[in-house]
Copies of this chain bind each other. A is one copy, B any other.
Amino acid sequence: MPKHHRKVKKYVQKKAFTSPGTLAYVGKEVPIDTVVKLVEFNEEMYQQKIVRVMSECHPDFNENHTNWLDVDGVHEVSIIESIGKHYHLHPLLLEDVLNTEQKPKLEHFGEHNIFVIMKMLQYNELINEIESEHVGLVLGKNYVISFQEVHKSDVFGAIFERLKASVGKTRKGKADYLFYSLCDLVIDNYYVVIEKFSEKLEELEIKIIENPHPNDQTLLYELRRSLMQIRKAILPLRDIFGALTREDSQLIQPSTNIYLRDVYDHVLQTLETIESYREMIENIQNIYLTSLSNKMNSVMKTLTVFTAIFMPLTFIAGVYGMNFENMPELRNPHGYFYTLGSMVIIGIVFWVYFKWKKYV
């Protein structure tokens, strides 16, 4: 929590009240250099190089190839700025690339660019928290520029492999199909995160139904927070891919449309799963609360049975413990045994009564 808090403060300090389009990175500090890779490919060839200065790249990219500029790290403002200048990207687009607090969005910059912000999610088993990585994708006529935060695992590695190996349709496709493939990868990843989440939730569900513990309430609360975090990353994608599906931009070919619809369908599916987990959490919460009430009832019944049985008996013992000079029963040689017998009978009668009232 404090970590999250500090991040927001930084955002406010760096960004509020500055002139619009002022570029400032607001995410975590990163000690690694930004790596910019240029991939050029078509059905026949595939070629990949590390870009050191932007002048190495043709300002219009190579028209015979599909071009993919993959930027690994958004914390070096000057690099992002130079890429922006080289390819005439709008300052507001760059602002959103740098602002790792920016929620998912779709933006059109004239006829030239379609710009999408998404969140790549990862379950960190060590600290039991979901980590979110900021991803920006720019689709142009014959190119895709992808921006991502630096991370241990290169999330777009699978696409590099597919392109190199020429597996599937990816290599035959144009820039829009590459753009789709990158989106698809991010969304496929949500299934993995949701699966991890569902494992934890179902464990807790079984535990709470069988043997609830005061701590479980806090665990449930943390799961609910994680679920809300996942939901916040995915919910805006419904509108974004819904819009991309209905898009008639020249940047997206009709044949790619059915693939975007498939992504859209998967987004809906994950959202529905999230919704059902949400409802499940609510129901588990209710079960937990009811079991608390049930336990209370059971505790109170125990208390009542003990009190109701022993109070009258103790009273009787008290009566015969009084020191009046004239108490005829005390002189009766069997008085003690009669009294003990009455006590046993009274105890049994109450016991049976409470048994019948389902108190024991």
Interface residues of A (CB under 8 A from B): 1-2, 5, 8-9, 11-12, 15-17, 19-22, 90, 92, 95, 102-103, 105, 107, 109, 158, 162, 167-170, 180-181, 184-185, 188-189, 191-192, 195, 198-199, 202, 205-206, 209, 214, 217-218, 221, 224-225, 228, 232, 258-259, 261-262, 265, 268-269, 272, 276, 279-280, 283, 285-297, 299-304, 306-308, 310-315, 317-327, 329-336, 339-340, 343, 359
Contact = CB atoms under 8 A, between A and B. Distances in A.
B304 A302 contact: yes
Contacts of A279: 228
A288 B285 contact: no
Contacts of A314: 310-311, 314-315, 318
Contacts of A292: 290, 293-294, 297
Contacts of A291: 214, 217
18 contacts: A20-B184, A102-B269, A221-B283, A221-B286, A225-B280, A289-B290, A292-B294, A299-B300, A303-B303, A310-B315, A313-B315, A314-B314, A320-B322, A321-B321, A324-B335, A324-B339, A325-B331, A325-B333
Given A92-B262, A310-B315, A314-B318, 20 more contacts: A1-B202, A12-B191, A12-B195, A15-B188, A19-B162, A19-B169, A109-B258, A217-B287, A217-B290, A289-B293, A293-B296, A300-B303, A302-B308, A306-B312, A311-B314, A313-B318, A314-B314, A319-B340, A323-B323, A327-B336
Contacts of A319: 317, 340, 343
A272 B229 CA distance: 12
A141 to B, nearest CB: 20
Main secondary structure of the interface of A (DSSP, over half): helix
Nearest to A285: B286
B327 A323 contact: yes
A17 B188 contact: yes
A147 B101 CA distance: 32
A214 B19 contact: no
Contact of A307 (B2, B261, B311, B327): B311
Contacts of A185: 17
A307 B318 contact: no
Contacts of A303: 300, 303-304, 307-308
A68 to B, nearest CB: 16
Contacts of A297: 292, 295-296, 299
A202 B320 CA distance: 56
Contacts of A269: 102-103
